[in-house]
Amino acid sequence: MGPTTTEIVGSALRAAAEKAEEIMAAASPFSKTQYISRSYAIFTREGKMTAHGSGSRFLAGLLPLFVESVLELNPLHTISPGDFIVTNDPYTCGSSLPVILGVSPVYFSKRPLALVASACSYSDLGGSAPGGMPAQARDIFQEGLRFSPVRVFKRGIPNEGLFAVLSHNSRSGSNLSKGIKAQFWAVQTAEKILSGLAGKYGFEKLMRCMEEIIENSRRSIADRLQTLPERNLISSVSAGEEPGSGSPLIIKAAVKKCGDLLTVDFTGTSPQASGPVNSSLGTTLSSVYAAVGGALPEIPLNDGLFRSIKVNAPGDSLVNPSFPAPVSSPPVDAIQDAVCRCLAQIFTGATPTGSGGKAHFTVGGFNSAKDSFFCYSTHITGGEGAVFSRDGGSPAYLSHSASPQTSVERLEAACPVLVSKVRLVKDSGGAGEFRGGPAVVWSFTVLDSNTVVSAGTGAAAPPEGQKGGLQGSPPLITISSPGNGESFNTTGIYTGSPGINGIVTLRTAGGGGFGPPLERNPDRVRNDLLEGLVSPEAAGGIYGVVLAGTDLEVDVEATARLRGKG
Amino acid sequence: MNASNFPLWRACIDSGGTYTSACLLSEDGEIYSVKVPTLPGSPSASAEEALTSLIEKTGLAPGSLCYIIYCTTLALNPVLQGLATKTAILTTRGFGDILLAGIQQTLILPGPTLQRLPFRRRLIFEIEERMLPGGGTFTPLAENELRGLVPRLRDEGIESVAICFLHSYVNPIHEQKARDILAEAMPGLPVTISSEVLPFPGESFRAAATALSAMVRPQLESCIVATYDRIKNWPGKSPGFMVSQSDGSTADVLSSCLVAAGAILSGPAGGVASASLLSAKTGRPNLITLEIGGSSTNISIIQRDKPSLYSGNKAPVSSQAGLPSLNIHSLGAGGGSIAALDANGSIRVGPLSAGSHPGPACCGGSLPTCTDANVLLGRINPDAIITGGPPASAGAALNSIKASLAGPLGISAEEAARRIIASLNSNIIQALRAIIDKNGLDPREYTLVSYGGAGPQHAAEIARECGIHYVLVPREPGFYSAQGALSTVRRSYEAVTFINLEEADPDRIFESYAELEKTALDDFAAQGINASRIIIERTADLRFMDQLLELNMQFPAGRLKKADLSLLGRAFVISFSSAYGFTPDDTGTEIVRLRLTAALDTPNRPSCPGKLTINGLKPALYRKAVFGDDTLDTPVYSRNELYPSASLRGPLIIEQEGTSTLVWPGMSASVDARGNIIISVEVL
């Protein structure tokens, strides 16, 4: 009773996408200093995603809209083997400008077999601040160079003129072009595996398997949805404030389960913002897919999933802005949270909400000694929301977050900064029967007056708890410039030069708790205390647990009394 | 007496959690093996006992044993079973959470496998010190603060310390100083420093490798060093003593202890090395190795005759740490795994193992194990179990299963035994399926090579469930890893260079290789091995200058000229293009690393064991054995009565000392020219 041929093909396609991801990273000049966020996926020749690798799920979620857009303008018969079509345009299918999407066809015996699509995050595509996420941006031009779908490789020959244009508009210079070339070359690896499969099973059979994989997913979801009651839920989540005016931004999501379909309607969401906190349509869709994927973790990300979800994102809104709105700091976590809260009431079981989101920072500038720009970007994952039967995980073990944390050593080797701490924050996980995951704090000193730092907190507001659990701790960015004695906090986005000896402190949000804190198993509270995640005051005051003696053992009776049960 | 005329006998000791095996390899390739139960408090005593009894059995003269290879799973097992040493981690002030806020890794196997490093946050201590990226000191090491920590370490009963300071890979001086201070204040406490374990940037990864190394070091040291000390005390010339590493190479005792995590998979690596030789000889290039021992199961993949070396950060146990290792997945499931009821009233097996003390219930232990279940089901002959004492008792197995499981659940003992085996198999099948899926393999193209004492009992059923059509059981499954460690004895040396191929000076390269070769020959000489028996291989890791993709290329011996180097460059471009399908333009090539491997030539085993006789194919006896829901009168054959090309239809059992092979109804078994049993699973 081994796997069926379809299952074998499915895992081979996944392995092909993964291998391409590995090769791309190894062939890219950026890998020498930092981790590269990327994702590859195999599509049928009609443009339906069958399998993706183990790279960033967010980037993978951009690919369906991308491939659809490309095929509309360039039908398959106009794309030749060895062509590589790339774009980063947020108003058609892209995310933010440093994310470059690319697609290339795979042929077998002169017939088109499949498409290999990829998304990769580069460190700089120009714009008014290194990293392309300037908080002051009020139009797309300030965020960098934008290009609609264009062939950078034609039948395997690079368009060096075009590559020169790209290189000239990036602080990474020729490394950008080398990186994009690596993104193309990695396709060869996937192609080899795909050709091998076609040779072994036959062209027609392979195509049928790919369709079957998609159909199986679609059927699994349909079956699952059919068993659930018809629901219509609405949630509103804060997406921070409009930079400048300070007016509140809201994501409103109406999630409806109707038969075997889910619809997500963002009508009622704030209109597009003048600041860079808009989410392009591609980003919005990817966030929705991630939220649904979280509720149905056993379903792979492929066309079967996408076809089960209908998304309505009104034009000119925060979730589907039009030109020339800036898009470099989208409220991804707020969108996911809004959708997840609705899903949590539709699907029983573990749907994580109250996630601390992903904070990020970029350090960039010019190194006169090396006569080149440096630009180092990284994400820091916040505390995970707790779910029924499980505490929110520590950032190091979060499986949904595919981008590894950055390395202090690599950051310091690349940029003139000195990191003073990277620590979990005590009492930051929302209290509950199951505690939210702890927040992380990074603090570093800038050693050069011209270094520019961009940062964002991810979650805009403290993540809420569920079913009586308390909220996680709020996120915070603190910039202090000892030179002029200034210091300020923000929970949104920041770009600036802190100056020599300026200190940047970035604290992610803690995850929301699940269930009433007074229900938490006292032994777990004790363990949290001993592990330094919870303070003695919180142990008694919030969890109602009394610990006594030199070993701080649980005093069962006193605890019951304190909790009002004795 | 000419040293090279001296008979060259070599030995291997494989210290497992349940059994200790010893093998002796003669000059002409004959192997002699012995197995004794491992004494948990003193694995070194069992090692000495096994080797001594083997030497007596073969009549080897004292002083004619050339060297001993030592491998063990005694570091792996506690990790798999969640019983790690009490380890303290010291790190730079401000970075106490580099392990929890740092790397993100998802381990790929479900089931009873290590999911995360078992350390406690409360045992991480920050020390005032700070290095800068270039290697300069920003804050000196606060020595008094460190000394002040010592009472706390004593109070907590710390058994091992790991130190990981920022940027220590550039300047290790603070780590070394801290180690000296602790050595003085707490002599005998093992201290492992990150600059010795994994001297590369990336502090979370390095800290994880160091923490893991520190955690397994006390167990590893206690068996390696203790065994080494015992053998050193033997009369006459001491044999060389080398420790097998996770990537199949060998190292000396001292380096093994300093980077203990490097030897976590030393036992299983031997088996994989054996299997990769097997693939070439049997014409089966794609193998999945399945080793089921007393306490652990190890799975690995061999494709096109090559075992996979770990690379990247999705990885099994020791290679999670980034140390060179074969890609072997381990789980805590074995013949001695204890069966118990879980919260839902289902029977769960492992990861705890009864080892050999107390051992399975049939051998005097109190709790039922998989071995007891197999005895009850008629699949194992209790007389064939190696106990080192009174023979195993089927009655004791029955009573234990009745008392612990069948009684409380209200089912028959036989049904309980069935469920125990089902649970063990399910853990392994789950892991194997995940590996097959993860790697995109087609199981129909693979042969399952099964060894370890318990492997051949379960392999056929597992293969069937995973869609694998053939099972191969080598001649002595219980000794396969030990024999494998003997068959490939090599040491690796490297010099990191980063030279541009265009600018490289051939003479300097020649000198670097010469230095490495001298070190290699000296190391082997220290083990009593003469240079004439050593085969040297030179390779180099090359890459294009902008990238990380490396290829290992053969490097010609002797003095080279510039022209030879450009030839190497051209060969690299061609190999790269053929491997990856592209070549980057306008970028130079650089030599990243020069590698030298020194390997001992080992005689080939005679291809057919001389003891096989051509007999009529009559089974030794019939026994009632349970296959699924049926109890069948099953023929039992003795392995040494089967001859090559013998072919039999299941159900049947093939017995030999220490293990038995199960062939199910509907399957067939034959013996190939090398004496391996091939089971055709006939998957539906």
**Chain A 41-80, residues with CB within 8 Å of chain B CB atoms:** 54
Residue in B89, B97, B139 to test binding to A, most A beta-carbons within 10 Å: B97
Q: What pLDDT is attached to residue A402?
A: 40
Which residue would you say has higher pLDDT here, B604 or A199?
A199
Average pLDDT over residues B638-662: 85
**Chain A 493-532, residues with CB within 8 Å of chain B CB atoms:** 530-532
Confidence band, pLDDT 50/70/90 cuts, at residue B313: very low
Residue of A nearest to B311 (CA): A22
CB-based contact A381 B104, cutoff 8 Å: yes
Residues of A whose CB is below 8 A from B581: 185, 188-189, 191-192
**Chain A 138-177, residues with CB within 8 Å of chain B CB atoms:** 158, 175
Using an 8 Å Cβ cutoff, are A55 and A400 in contact? no
CA distance B138 to chain A (A): 10
Residue in A4, A5, A11 to test binding to B, most B beta-carbons within 10 Å: A11
Round to the nearest angstrom and report the end-to-end CA distance of chain A. 56
Examine the domain organization and report whether B121 and B196 are in the same domain.
Answer: yes
Residue of A nearest to B128 (CA): A420
CB-based contact A397 B98, cutoff 8 Å: no
Examine the domain organization and report whether B96 and B193 are in the same domain.
Answer: yes
Q: Which own/partner contact pairs does B623-626 have at CB distance under 8 Å and 24+ positions apart?
A: B623/B378, B623/B381, B623/B653, B624/B378, B625/B377, B625/B378, B625/B379, B625/B651, B625/B653, B626/B377, B626/B378, B626/B379, B626/B414, B626/B417, B626/B418
Angle among Cα A70, A73, A76 to the nearest 5 degrees reads: 70
Examine the domain organization and report whether B507 and B568 are in the same domain.
Answer: yes
Q: What pLDDT is attached to residue B317?
A: 34
**Chain A 418-437, residues with CB within 8 Å of chain B CB atoms:** 418-424
Residue B352 to residue B350: CA distance in whole angstroms: 5
CA distance A341 to chain B (A): 26
Residue A270 to residue A156: CA distance in whole angstroms: 45
φ/ψ region of B337 (left if φ > 0, alpha if ψ in -120 to 50, else beta) reads beta
B10-24, B27-41, B124-138, B436-450 — which is least confidently predicted?
B27-41
CB-based contact A423 B120, cutoff 8 Å: no
Examine the domain organization and report whether B404 and B342 are in the same domain.
Answer: yes
Using an 8 Å Cβ cutoff, are B37 and B356 in contact? yes
Q: What pLDDT is attached to residue B605?
A: 64
Instruction: Give how far Cα B480 sits from Cα of B23, B249, B277, B333, Å.
Output: 10, 17, 12, 18
One DSSP character per residue, B369-417 reads: BHHHHHHHTTSS-GGGS--SSSPP-HHHHHHHHIIIIIHHHT--HHHHH
Number of residues that make up chain B: 684
Residues of A whose CB is below 8 A from B96: 423
Which of B423, B438, B473 delimits the end of a domain? B423
Q: What pLDDT is attached to residue B528?
A: 78
Residue of B nearest to A14 (CA): B440
List of residues 6+ apart from B376 with CB closer than 8 A: B394, B397, B398, B401, B413, B414, B417
Angle among Cα B156, B194, B223 to the nearest 5 degrees reads: 65
Q: Which of A1, A403, A408 sits opposite B203 (nearest CB)?
A: A408
User: Is residue B317 a part of any domain in this protein?
Assistant: no
Residues of B whose CB is below 8 A from A159: none
Q: What is the DSSP letter of A317?
A: B
What is the torsion angle, in degrees rounded to the nearest 10, for the CA atoms of residue A364, residue A369, residue A372 and residue A377? Answer: -30
User: Is residue B589 a part of any domain in this protein?
Assistant: yes
Q: Which of A14, A419, A533 sits opposite B440 (nearest CB)?
A: A14
A265-269, B49-53, B108-112, B567-571 — which is least confidently predicted?
B108-112
B367-371, B443-447, B605-609 — which is least confidently predicted?
B605-609
Q: Which of A3, A23, A532 sits opposite B549 (nearest CB)?
A: A23
Q: Tokens at residue A149, please?
A: 């779908």
User: Is residue B304 a part of any domain in this protein?
Assistant: no
Residue of B nearest to A420 (CA): B94
Using an 8 Å Cβ cutoff, are B277 and B307 in contact? no
The b/e string for B36-69 (b: 16+ C-beta within 10 A; e otherwise) is bbbbeebbbbbbbbbbbebbeeeebeeeebbbbb
Q: Provide, rounded to the nearest whole percent, the portion of chain B with pLDDT above 90.
A: 41
Is the CB of residue B581 less than 8 Å away from at least one CB of chain A? yes
Using an 8 Å Cβ cutoff, are B93 and B130 in contact? yes
Examine the domain organization and report whether B122 and B52 are in the same domain.
Answer: no
Q: The CATH number of the domain where B172 resides is what?
A: 3.40.1360
pLDDT in tens, B56-88: 888 887 678 888 999 988 887 777 777 778 999
Is the CB of residue A395 less than 8 Å away from at least one CB of chain B? yes
CB-based contact B436 A3, cutoff 8 Å: yes
CA distance A409 to chain B (A): 6
A555-559, B531-535, B634-638, B665-669 — which is least confidently predicted?
B531-535
Which of B550, B582, B600 delimits the end of a domain? B600
CB-based contact B95 A25, cutoff 8 Å: no
Average pLDDT over residues A278-293: 94
Confidence band, pLDDT 50/70/90 cuts, at residue B454: very high
- The amino acid occupying position B270 is G
pLDDT in tens, B571-595: 999 999 988 888 887 789 999 889 9
What's the ipTM? 0.90
CA distance B224 to chain A (A): 33
Q: The CATH number of the domain where B567 resides is what?
A: 3.30.1490
- Among B250, B382, B388, B246, smallest CA distance to B323 is for B246
User: Is residue B161 a part of any domain in this protein?
Assistant: yes
Residue B315 has pLDDT above 60, yes or no: no
Examine the domain organization and report whether B214 and B84 are in the same domain.
Answer: yes
Residue A473 to residue A465: CA distance in whole angstroms: 11
User: Is residue B265 a part of any domain in this protein?
Assistant: no
| CA A413, chain centre distance (Å) | 26
Q: What pLDDT is attached to residue A250?
A: 94
CB-based contact A404 B104, cutoff 8 Å: yes
User: Is residue B606 a part of any domain in this protein?
Assistant: no
Q: Which of A185, A409, A419 sits opposite B202 (nearest CB)?
A: A409
pLDDT in tens, A378-395: 888 878 888 777 888 766
One DSSP character per residue, A432-491 reads: SSBPPPPPEEEEEEE-STT-EEEEE-SSSSPPP-BTTPPPPPPPEEEEEETTTTEEEEES
Q: The CATH number of the domain where B46 resides is what?
A: 3.30.420.40
pTM (2 d.p.): 0.90
**Chain B 20-59, residues with CB within 8 Å of chain A CB atoms:** none
Examine the domain organization and report whether B145 and B63 are in the same domain.
Answer: no
Is the omega angle on the peptide bond into residue B351 within 30 degrees of 0, that is, cis?
yes
Is the CB of residue B344 less than 8 Å away from at least one CB of chain A? no
Is the CB of residue B405 less than 8 Å away from at least one CB of chain A? no
| Domain limits for position B147 | 79-218
Residue A396 has pLDDT above 90, yes or no: no
Which residue would you say has higher pLDDT here, B61 or B606?
B61
CB-based contact A532 B122, cutoff 8 Å: yes
Examine the domain organization and report whether B59 and B91 are in the same domain.
Answer: no
With tokens 């947020």, the residue in question is: A90
Examine the domain organization and report whether B590 and B530 are in the same domain.
Answer: yes
Q: What pLDDT is attached to residue B485?
A: 86
Residues of A whose CB is below 8 A from B433: 3
Confidence band, pLDDT 50/70/90 cuts, at residue A398: low
Confidence band, pLDDT 50/70/90 cuts, at residue A135: very high
Residues of B whose CB is below 8 A from A395: 100-101, 104
Residue B474 to residue B107: CA distance in whole angstroms: 31
CB-based contact B580 A531, cutoff 8 Å: no
CA distance A301 to chain B (A): 16
Confidence band, pLDDT 50/70/90 cuts, at residue B13: very high
Residues of B whose CB is below 8 A from A421: 94-95
Helix (H), strand (E) at residue A366? strand A358-367
Number of residues that make up chain A: 566
Q: Which of A22, A23, A409 sits opposite B166 (nearest CB)?
A: A409
Examine the domain organization and report whether B171 and B90 are in the same domain.
Answer: yes
Is the CB of residue B89 less than 8 Å away from at least one CB of chain A? no
pLDDT in tens, B410-426: 999 999 999 999 999 99
Which of B423, B446, B471 delimits the end of a domain? B423
Residues of B whose CB is below 8 A from A189: 580-581
User: Is residue B681 a part of any domain in this protein?
Assistant: no
Q: What pLDDT is attached to residue B280?
A: 78
Residue B382 to residue B684: CA distance in whole angstroms: 33
CB-based contact B439 A185, cutoff 8 Å: no
Residue B430 to residue B445: CA distance in whole angstroms: 19
Q: Provide, rounded to the nearest whole percent, the portion of chain A with pLDDT above 70.
A: 96
User: Is residue B416 a part of any domain in this protein?
Assistant: yes
CA distance A261 to chain B (A): 29
Q: What pLDDT is attached to residue B105?
A: 42
Is the CB of residue B666 less than 8 Å away from at least one CB of chain A? no
Examine the domain organization and report whether B182 and B227 are in the same domain.
Answer: no
**Chain A 291-330, residues with CB within 8 Å of chain B CB atoms:** none
Confidence band, pLDDT 50/70/90 cuts, at residue A216: very high
Domains contained in chain B, number? 4
Q: What pLDDT is attached to residue B232?
A: 87
Average pLDDT over residues B557-583: 88
Is the CB of residue B120 less than 8 Å away from at least one CB of chain A? yes
Which residue would you say has higher pLDDT here, A126 or B557?
A126
One DSSP character per residue, B83-121 reads: ----EEEEEETT-TTTTTTT--------SSS--S----G
Residue A511 has pLDDT above 50, yes or no: yes
Residue of A nearest to B439 (CA): A15
Residue B683 has pLDDT above 80, yes or no: no
Q: Which of B120, B440, B582 sits opposite A12 (nearest CB)?
A: B440
Examine the domain organization and report whether B194 and B108 are in the same domain.
Answer: yes
Average pLDDT over residues A275-296: 92
A400-414, A421-435, B137-151 — which is least confidently predicted?
A400-414
Residues of B whose CB is below 8 A from A25: 548
Using an 8 Å Cβ cutoff, are A382 and A512 in contact? no
Residue B396 to residue B404: CA distance in whole angstroms: 12
Q: What pLDDT is attached to residue B281?
A: 81
CB-based contact B94 A420, cutoff 8 Å: yes
CB-based contact B546 A14, cutoff 8 Å: no
List of residues 6+ apart from B501 with CB closer than 8 A: B542, B565, B566, B568, B569, B588, B589, B590, B591
Question: If you average pLDDT over each of A115-119, B11-15, B133-137, which comes out highest?
Answer: A115-119
